[in-house]
Structure 1
Amino acid sequence: MHITVLGPVSVATGGKRHGIQANKVRSMLAVLALDAGRAVSHADLADELWAGQPLGNTRNALQAHATRLRKVLDSGAERPRGTTVLRAVRGGYLLDVPPGCVDGNTFLDLASRGAAALDVRPERAIELLRAGLDLWQGPALLDAGDGLRCRGAAALFDERRLTVREDLIRARLAVGDASRAVAELRRLVAQHPLRERFCELLMLALYRTGRQAEALELFHVTRRRLDEELGVQPGIVLQRRHTEILSQDPALSLTTVPAAS
């Protein structure tokens, strides 16, 4: 079984992927998948699915959705008769699958391993980080509903995705692939113009490819944008990078790339 939360919520069983049409059933799967292997209480499920809306009989409504979800989860699966991965437990429900069956958990594992390898084996870090990013099929928990659990988890996944992309750029710079890093960073800066770390890395990549003037111009553009949109000055890391490029600091030519402070 494989459950997707990095994009539209879906489940694959017996080698076949199943989309889930009913919104509440899809939301229920998402909440349970985020806590795969752990029980989620009736109260927490109700809060996620109905967000405080008055409901006549919560238990009956949850039971009806659980029945529909079981039909999807058990479709095409080989398991002993009468067993199911969606278990009713005291006070709630439990999705009885290993955490690795959920793509979000696999992504977080690859992200952590890639970050750990970054400073010692950047080539291996690139493999791990790319594998993690390849799992994404759209915005996290795209159609999981507006419940606080799913929206909070989606925000955390999306932020971690940006951090992984940052780590991947650092790994590319560490192996001397500055030209490719420039191309990727231009897209990231365009998408996230106020994220100073992407700007700082692009300045470094431009400098290493012989484009010092472009790197300095990028700093000034970013400084104006931060002032106009947020009323703040660039952070100390970005300012320091600007100073290093102005002075052509020899350390900028090294393959190591410091983490953000």
Structure 2
Amino acid sequence: MDSPTVLCRVLGPIVVEIDGVPAELGGPRSRRALSALSAADGAVVPDEYLIEQIWGDVPPGNVTSALRGIIWRLRAALGPQVGPRYLRRGAGGYALVIPGPLIDHRQLASRVAGAMRHLDDGHPSWAATDLAAAVALWRGEPWEELGPAPELIGIRAHLAELHDVAVEELQAARLALDDPAHAGPETARAIAALAEAVVATPYRERRWELLALALYRSGRQTEALAALRGIHERLIDDIGIEPRLSLRTLEHRILRQDPDLLLPAPVRAARQHNDR
């Protein structure tokens, strides 16, 4: 019998898919336990920490037996081929040892890294495929069941940044798929996505830069300039900083109708993170 295909999804409410079908993980306590185990990235999670995550400050009387019961139910939910294999007892705790490629936050990082290489190598269609897959993985706050969890602040911020980069560079790849002088359907898709993206995260300058470029290539110079001036004013009024150099340069180029803006260019030429 072939081993089942497993995917642990933690970018949002926790889900474990077995051969594409979500396992019945049970109630909030079981889900918090599995979330805490998955966040440990294969390391043994001490019983005491699991108990705290599951019951907070009010554990049941026979908490050791209660914890074993939750682990037993999780193993049963994952099935006889997956539960005992991946959910193991270690020294003083339990570990979820699902390999990295079978966890969605690892897939997110891998997809984005691969797409950046494709962009650098001049393969925007391959990059768009990887980036669209990366964006689709995101369903909400990673390890949602664990609440604020100070120990997860760093990794959550890192994953959110990867998601933001994927959203932006997907639109950059789409722009590269159209003839810059004759904006087509990919540019229209990029404009629609970027219009939503700048509302969702208004201080990320990369998405404003791409939106302005896409609008200009679509013959909407006035709207492109309005977008750039809008983020300029927002950054100064709200944060007290000037837009980065690439944004200011793009505004000047649009004003003088630089013909090079309608020529194919490396997808990431404008992606400068330290150009202030």
* TM-score in same-fold range (> 0.5): yes
Match status 1:33 vs 2:51:
no
**TM-score normalised by structure 1 residue count:** 0.83
Given that 2:53 and 2:146 are in contact with CA atoms closer than 8 Å, whether structure 1 keeps it comes out as no
Rate the CA distance shift 1:246–1:98 in 2: closer, same or farther, 3 A.
Answer: same
Rate the CA distance shift 1:44–1:71 in 2: closer, same or farther, 3 A.
Answer: closer
Q: Deviations over 1:50-97 (max 9, x none)?
A: 78x69799xx747633541342233362439x9452222124321122
Unaligned 5+ segments in structure 2 are 1-5, 179-185
* Other-structure match for 1:11: 16
Matched pairs, number = 257
- Which residue, out of 124, 130, 133, partners 2:132? 130
**SS class of match (2:231):** helix
Match status 1:204 vs 2:213:
yes
One-letter code aligned to 1:260 = Q
Given that 1:9 and 1:144 are in contact with CA atoms closer than 8 Å, whether structure 2 keeps it comes out as no
Match status 1:96 vs 2:104:
no
In 2, Cα distance between the equivalents of 1:71 and 1:46? 16
- Root-mean-square deviation (CA, aligned residues, Å) is 2.9
Given that 2:35 and 2:145 are in contact with CA atoms closer than 8 Å, whether structure 1 keeps it comes out as no
* Other-structure match for 2:241: 232
* Other-structure match for 1:192: 201
In 2, Cα distance between the equivalents of 1:260 and 1:187? 22
Q: Deviations over 1:30-65 (max 9, x none)?
A: 2321344333345665676678x69799xx747633
Identity of aligned residues (%): 31
Given that 2:217 and 2:262 are in contact with CA atoms closer than 8 Å, whether structure 1 keeps it comes out as yes
Match status 1:178 vs 2:183:
no
Rate the CA distance shift 1:41–1:243 in 2: closer, same or farther, 3 A.
Answer: farther
Question: Shift in Å at residue 8 of structure 1?
Answer: 0.9
In 1, Cα distance between the equivalents of 2:154 and 2:28? 18
Given that 1:25 and 1:65 are in contact with CA atoms closer than 8 Å, whether structure 2 keeps it comes out as no
**TM-score normalised by structure 2 residue count:** 0.79
Rate the CA distance shift 1:222–1:76 in 2: closer, same or farther, 3 A.
Answer: closer
In 2, Cα distance between the equivalents of 1:114 and 1:3? 22
Rate the CA distance shift 1:210–1:138 in 2: closer, same or farther, 3 A.
Answer: same
